[in-house]
Structure 1
Amino acid sequence: MSTKLNQIIAVEKGVKAKAHQDLTAAHHGLQKPALLTGIARTYQPKDEEGEQLPPESTRVQVRAEEVLRRTAESLTRLFDVTATKDWANREARADVSVDGQVLISQVPVSYLLFLEKQLTDLNTFVRRLPVLDAAESWTQDPSTDDWRTEPVRTVRTKKVPRNHVKAEATEKHPAQVEVYYEDVPVGYWTTVKFSGALPARRISQLLDRVEKLQQAVKFAREEANAAEVTDRRVGDPVFGYLFG
C-alpha cells in the first residue's frame, strides 16, 4: 500500500516528540553513575571459627552500548520520516487555480506554505484599509486621483450689536437701553472635502480576491500533499556509521 505525503506529515510530529523523549531519557540515564556500575564480593573469615557473612552484589542496570542501540532505533525512525517528507516536498507540486484559471503552475509545497502565510497577512492588511465616509457622496477627481464631495455652500455670519430701548428717556431718567447681538450674514463658505481612502465596494472586491486566492492555495497544498511518496531509509547508514 502506497504512502501519501499528508500521511507522513501527520505522523511526523508524533515521531519527533517520541524521539526527543527517548533521547532525553537516554541522556539522563547515562548521567547516573550508580546505574552504570555493579559489584560482587564474597566474604571469607580468617579461620573456621570466624563470622560467616553473606555475599554482596549490585547488578549493572544501564549499559551504554544498549542505550546507543535503542537511541539509534528511535532516531532512525525520525530520520527516515523527515527524509521521506523532505524528499517528497521537493517533488510534490500543484497548480494554484482561481475561477478555473491557472494563476501559478506547478508550485512546490514549501512555496505554497509561504503563500498561505503571506495571504493571511494580506487579508489582515486589506481589512484595515481606510474606507470613505458613507455619510458623504464621493466622486473621483481625475486631476489628483483623490475622492471629492460636491461643493457645499454655508453662510458665514457675524455678531453685530443692536440696541433695544426698554424705556424712553424722560426729564428725570435717561433712556433704558439693552444691548444684544444679532447674527448677520457677511459671506459664504464653499466647502469641498477630499480623501485618499477607498470606497467600501473596492475594499470588498480586494478582500474577495484575497480570500479566493487563499482558498485556491489551500486546495493546491492539499492536492500536493496527496502525492505518493517513496520511503527514504537514511537512518541506518547514518547510525551505522555513528554508533557502529
Structure 2
Amino acid sequence: MAKLNQILAVEKGVKAGGQRAITDAYHAIQKAPLLSGLSRTYQPIDDEGEQLPPESTRVQVKAEEVLADVAKALTRLFDVTAAKDWTNTVARADVVVDGQTLLRDVPVTYLLFLEKQLVDLHTFVAKLPTLDPAETWTFDDNAETWRTEPVKTTRTKKVPRNHVLAEATDKHPAQVQVFTEDVVVGYWTKTAFSGALPARRVNELLARVRKLQDAVKYAREEANGTEAEEREIGAAVFRYLFA
C-alpha cells in the first residue's frame, strides 16, 4: 500500500497526464474529417465503359474509443486525488520543539497552512525595527519604551558687541567695529525614546520562528508517511458517465 508522500509525489504528473488526455481528446473530436469514412466502387453502364478503381477513406477517430481513453486517464487522476484527500482526513502528527510537544495530532492540511504562515512571519520579524546601537538604552517602565540617558547641551544667542578701533577726537568721531558674540543663554536636556526592539530580542524571535518552522516540516513529513487510503472513485464515476 502506498504512503501519502508517495501519492503526493505522483499527483502532479497524474494531473498533467489527465489534462493532456482530455485536451487531446477534445481536439481530436473537433476534426470532422478524422471521424468520417467512406467506401465507393464504380461500375460502367456497359462492358465497353471505362473501369475506375474503388475509393475508400478509413475512420481515424471513433468517439467511443475517445471516451474510453479519457475515462482511463481521468480514472487514475480521480483515484490518486481521492487517496490524497481521504488520507488527509486521518494523517496527523505532533509538532515538537526542543523536546516539548507544542501541538498534538495536527492534521497534515493544517501543517501545510502553518508552514506557509511561518514563512510570512519570518519575513515580518526580520524587518522589525531595532534600537540604534550607537546609543545606550534602558527600559522606562513609566513610559513603557526604551530611553537614553539625558544629555545636556547649551543654547547660545548671538549678541551684538562694539569694538572701538579709535577714540573720538575733537576732529573725528570714534571708529567703532560692530560684531556678534555667541553667548550661552540656557541649557537643553535631551532624552531620546524609542519603541524599537533590542537587536538581541529580534534575533531571539527569529530563532524561535526558525525552530517552529523546522518542527512543522518534521511533523508534515511524519504525517505524510501515513498509509494512503486508496479509493476506486474513478471507475464508479465513469461507469455512470460513459456507460
| CA deviation string 1:82-109 (max 9, x = no partner) | 1111111111110001000000001011
Q: Which residue of 1 aligns with 2:218?
A: 219
Q: Which residue of 2 aligns with 1:93?
A: 92
Q: Which residue of 2 aligns with 1:8?
A: 7
Give 3-state SS (helix, strand or coil) of 2:188's partner: strand
Distance 1:18 1:173 in 2: 111
Q: How far does residue 43 in structure 1 lie from its aligned partner after superposition?
A: 0.9
Q: How far does residue 170 in structure 1 lie from its aligned partner after superposition?
A: 4.1
Give 3-state SS (helix, strand or coil) of 1:20's partner: helix
Q: Which amino acid aligns with 1:106?
A: D
Which runs of 5 or more structure 2 residues have no equivalent in the other structure? none
Q: Identity of aligned pairs, percent? A: 68
TM-score normalized by the length of structure 1: 0.96
| CA deviation string 1:29-68 (max 9, x = no partner) | 0001110010111111111111111111111000000000
Matches within 5 A, 1:63-82: 63-82=62-81
Matches within 5 A, 1:37-52: 37-52=36-51
Q: Which residue of 2 aligns with 1:146?
A: 145
The worse-fitting range, judged by mean Cα deviation, of 228-237 and 12-21 is 228-237
Q: How far does residue 133 in structure 1 lie from its aligned partner after superposition?
A: 1.3
TM-score normalized by the length of structure 2: 0.96
Q: Which amino acid aligns with 2:148?
A: T
Distance 1:45 1:23 in 2: 47
Q: Which residue of 2 aligns with 1:238?
A: 237
Distance 2:55 2:175 in 1: 128
Give 3-state SS (helix, strand or coil) of 2:157's partner: strand
Q: Which amino acid aligns with 1:101?
A: Q
The number of aligned residues is 243
Distance 1:175 1:77 in 2: 112
Q: Which residue of 2 aligns with 1:208?
A: 207
